[in-house]
Amino acid sequence: MTKFRVAETMKEIMAAYYLEAKNAAYNNTPVAWITSGGPVEFLYAMGVIPVYPENYAPMCSITRMSKDLMEVSEAAGYSQDICSYARTDIGADMTQGGPILGLPKPDMLIVGTNICHTVVKWFDVHARKYNVPLFIIDMPYLHDDMTKDAINYVVKQFEAFKGFLSGVLKKPFNEDKFMETLFLAAQVSDLWEKVLAMGKKKPSPINSFDTFIHLAPIVTLRGTQKAVDYYTRFYDELVELSNQGFGSVPDEKIRLLWDNLPIWYKIKYLSEFFAKHSAALVVSTYTNSWAAMQGDIDTDHALEELARAYLSPYINRGFKYRTDYLVKLVEEFSLDGLVFHSDRSCKPYSIGQYIVKEEVTKRTGRPGLIIEADMNDPRVFSDAQFETRAEAFLESFDR
């Protein structure tokens, strides 16, 4: 992984974000726990600090704390078969553990179903514990094409969400601030897309392990000027590096795609493993999902555009879309192959990967590798098993 100049800035803005969140109660600022695909723009418009258990869980994993936290929730009866983010988060909440000693108490819980239905159950556990309002925005899975009905359905819920926030916070919904936030969010998503598109360069100045780390601001600070400034600088740095001929993997020979969530506790190891084999993971369906959460913000149809954006993430789409999308990425990013993380914790992302992989290989001739693992549970990962399979896969490119 490359140590980019902006990395220090990211540390600073993320530290400031978590500090502000931790002090929210002292500052009389409301806090919402929200899912990673939730419409954060509404919260920023109303001065609510959004906090992401799905950001905190990988933080616990990267800092090697997730296993202990999961063991706490498992001892409380949560099965090892449920999402490891949820188990980590529930364990962190029970112990006030993890790198920032627990998340600040929520005043409300906000769920978007565009990533899974697990989040409904997970946040419901918190709703029972904290006895705070839980608002769910149903963003239905698109088995086929995006439909007007689906967009209208989400738009109506966005309208209801404004009413919900207004009621809980006892003040009118701030439409002006909302539009300002939408513009900023669209800018951030646009910048993120440009950052990710740098993976098309040969050699690529950035790889998926870098983008996994630099994802934090777009998840947590989407809709803020801070995030716009950050990704502007990041993009400029990447352009500068690329112009100098810099490649994130020295001697880049194999260009790959990463599908599904990262294996957070193995990022460094995987990054070094692939680099050792001159393989660069130049694009990932996971990080691309936040680039999809943008629309051309037209003030007359802002909510329609926003609904379209939130229905768009890869995980919320049927297999035909997924296959067509991967075939497109093979072309655009000049890929030699695809790596699929079969993530025990994330059923909606993983179930179907075998089919999608075969179809993409049939259409493009590019091979795929399946890695059996889990995004946050290190007990599931076997170094030896991974290396045997991945080495065989990478060696096939020499022949």
Partner 1 sequence: MFEEFFKANRESANLARKWKKKTGRKIIGVMPEYFPSEVITALGAYPVHFRGTQMPLSRSDTYMQSFSCTTTRTILEQALNGEMDYVDAFVFTTMCDNQQNLAEVFKNLFPDKPVIIFLIPFISSVTLRQEHLKEQIDRSISELERVTGNKFTKDGLKKALMLHERLNTLINNLYDIRRRNPGALSAYEFYSIVKAGSFLPPEEYTGMLGPVVKTLGSMDVKDVADRVIISGITPEPLELTKAFDEIGLHIVDDDLTSGTRRFSKGALKGTDAKSLDNFVFGGSPCSTLFDPSKDRRSYLLDKARSNRAGVIMWQIKFCEPEAFERPDITSYLKENNIPVTSFEVELQMASFEGIKTRLQAFKELMEVQI
Instruction: Give the binding site for partner 1 (CB under 8 A).
Output: 76-79, 81-83, 86, 113, 116-118, 120-122, 124-125, 127-128, 134-138, 140-141, 143, 149, 153, 156-157, 160, 164, 318-320, 342, 344, 347-348, 350-355, 359, 372
How far apart are CB 150 and partner 1 at their closest, in Å?
Answer: 9
Cβ proximity to partner 1: between 46 and 186 the closer is: 46
Nearer to partner 1 (CB atom), residue 28 or residue 79: 79
Structure tokens at 332: 């655009």
**Cα-only R_g, the chain:** 20
Q: Between 97 and 348, name the residue whose CB sits nearer to partner 1.
A: 348
Contact 208, 258 (CB under 8 A): yes
* Residues in a beta bridge with 179: none
* Polymer length of the chain: 399
Nearer to partner 1, 97 or 352 (CB): 352
Q: CA 126, CA 81: separation in Å to the nearest integer?
A: 19
- Which is closer to partner 1, CB of 86 or CB of 218? 86
For the CB of residue 67, give the shortest distance to partner 1 in the complex, in Å.
19
Least distance between partner 1 and beta carbon 39 (Å): 13
Nearer to partner 1, 180 or 304 (CB): 304
Contacts of 202 (CB under 8 A, 6+ apart): 252, 255, 334
Name the region of 247 (left: φ>0; alpha: ψ -120 to 50; beta: rest).
Answer: beta
Q: How near is the Cβ of 373 to partner 1 at its closest, in Å?
A: 11
The structure tokens 């359905």 sit at 153
**AA letter at 324:** D
Shortest Å distance, C-beta 313 to partner 1: 14
Between residues 10 and 120, which has the closer beta carbon with respect to partner 1? 120
Q: How far apart are CA 247 and CA 176, in angstroms?
A: 43
CB of 133 to partner 1, least distance (A): 9
Name the phi and psi angles at 259, rounded to 5.
-110, 140
Least gap, CB of 375 to partner 1 (angstroms): 13
Helix (H, G, I), strand (E, B) or coil at 40: coil
Under 8 Å CB-to-CB from 242, ≥6 apart: which residues? Answer: 198, 201, 205
Whether omega for the bond prior to residue 203 falls within 30 degrees of 0, making it cis, is yes
